[in-house]
Amino acid sequence: MLPRVNSAAIRRLNMVRVFHALRENPSCAQRDLSRLTGLDKATTSAIVAQMIEEGLVERSEAPRARRIGRPETALGIAPSAGLLVGARLEPGTIRIVSTTLAGTVVKQSQIPGSTDLATALRRLHEGIDAVVAASRPEGGVPPPLRGIGIGIPALMDREGRLVLAPNLGWRDTPIRPLLEEALGAPVHVDNDTKAAAMAERLFGACRGVEDFVYLTGHSGVGGGLFLGGRLYRGAQGFAGEIGHLTVVPGGRPCGCGKRGCLETYVSETSILAQAGERERALPDLWAAAAAARDGDPVVRSLLEAAGAHLGMALSHMVNLTNPGLVVLGGNLSIVAEFVLPTLNAALDEHALEPLRRDLRLLVSPLGPDAVPMGGIALAMDGFLSVPSPIL
Ligand SMILES: [Zn+2]
User: Which pLDDT does position 210 carry in this prediction?
Assistant: 94
Shared-domain flag, residues 135 and 247 = no
Cα(284) to ligand 1 centroid in Å equals 21
Cα(153) to ligand 1 centroid in Å equals 14
Cα(71) to ligand 1 centroid in Å equals 61
CB 289 within 8 A of CB 338: yes
Cα(265) to ligand 1 centroid in Å equals 11
Shared-domain flag, residues 132 and 153 = yes
User: Which pLDDT does position 365 carry in this prediction?
Assistant: 87
User: Which pLDDT does position 215 carry in this prediction?
Assistant: 92
The CATH number linked to 190 is 3.30.420.40
Shared-domain flag, residues 381 and 255 = no
Cα(90) to ligand 1 centroid in Å equals 19
Cα(260) to ligand 1 centroid in Å equals 7
Shared-domain flag, residues 183 and 102 = yes
User: What pairs with residue 330 in β-bridges?
Assistant: 217
C-alpha 33/C-alpha 353 separation (Å) is 40
How far is residue 200 from each of residues 56, 86, 204, 250, 369, measured CA to CA in Å?
Answer: 24, 14, 4, 35, 11
In a domain, 43, yes or no: yes
C-alpha 162/C-alpha 237 separation (Å) is 11
Cα(39) to ligand 1 centroid in Å equals 47
* Last residue of one domain, picked from the residues 22, 47, 77: 77
Number of structural domains found in the chain:
3
Cα(121) to ligand 1 centroid in Å equals 28
Shared-domain flag, residues 88 and 103 = yes
Shared-domain flag, residues 158 and 304 = no
Its domain, for residue 328, covers: 207-365
Cα(254) to ligand 1 centroid in Å equals 5
* pTM over the 0.85 mark: yes
CB 215 within 8 A of CB 238: no
* Total residue length of the chain: 391
Shared-domain flag, residues 358 and 251 = yes
Cα(360) to ligand 1 centroid in Å equals 27
Cα(255) to ligand 1 centroid in Å equals 6
In a domain, 202, yes or no: no
User: Which pLDDT does position 158 carry in this prediction?
Assistant: 83
Cα(338) to ligand 1 centroid in Å equals 24
C-alpha 113/C-alpha 372 separation (Å) is 14
Shared-domain flag, residues 112 and 171 = yes
Cα(233) to ligand 1 centroid in Å equals 19
Shared-domain flag, residues 346 and 380 = no
User: What pairs with residue 326 in β-bridges?
Assistant: 213, 361
Residue 125: CB atoms within 10 A of its CB come to 14
C-alpha 331/C-alpha 6 separation (Å) is 44
Shared-domain flag, residues 213 and 187 = no
Cα(245) to ligand 1 centroid in Å equals 7
Tens of pLDDT, residue by residue, the chain (391 residues): 555 567 878 888 889 999 999 999 888 888 889 999 999 999 999 999 999 998 999 988 655 455 555 556 889 999 889 999 999 998 889 999 999 999 999 999 999 999 999 999 999 999 999 999 999 887 777 789 999 999 998 999 888 899 998 788 999 999 999 999 888 888 999 999 999 999 999 998 898 899 999 998 877 888 999 999 999 999 988 899 999 999 999 999 998 889 999 999 999 989 999 999 999 999 999 999 999 999 999 999 999 999 999 999 999 999 999 999 999 988 888 999 999 999 999 999 999 999 999 999 999 988 778 999 999 999 999 998 876 544 4
How far is residue 280 from each of residues 72, 81, 268, 298, measured CA to CA in Å?
Answer: 63, 52, 14, 8
Cα(29) to ligand 1 centroid in Å equals 51
Those residues with Cβ within 8 angstroms of residue 254's Cβ, 6 or more apart along the chain or in another chain:
244, 260, 261, 263, 264
User: Which pLDDT does position 390 carry in this prediction?
Assistant: 46
Measured on CA atoms in the order 367, 356, 317, 242, is the torsion positive or negative? negative
Shared-domain flag, residues 239 and 257 = yes
Tell me which residue of 188, 187, 196 sits closest to 231, measured CA to CA.
196
* Last residue of one domain, picked from the residues 19, 51, 77: 77
In a domain, 42, yes or no: yes
Cα(275) to ligand 1 centroid in Å equals 20
Shared-domain flag, residues 66 and 90 = no
Cα(303) to ligand 1 centroid in Å equals 19
In a domain, 201, yes or no: no
Cα(96) to ligand 1 centroid in Å equals 29
User: Which pLDDT does position 209 carry in this prediction?
Assistant: 93
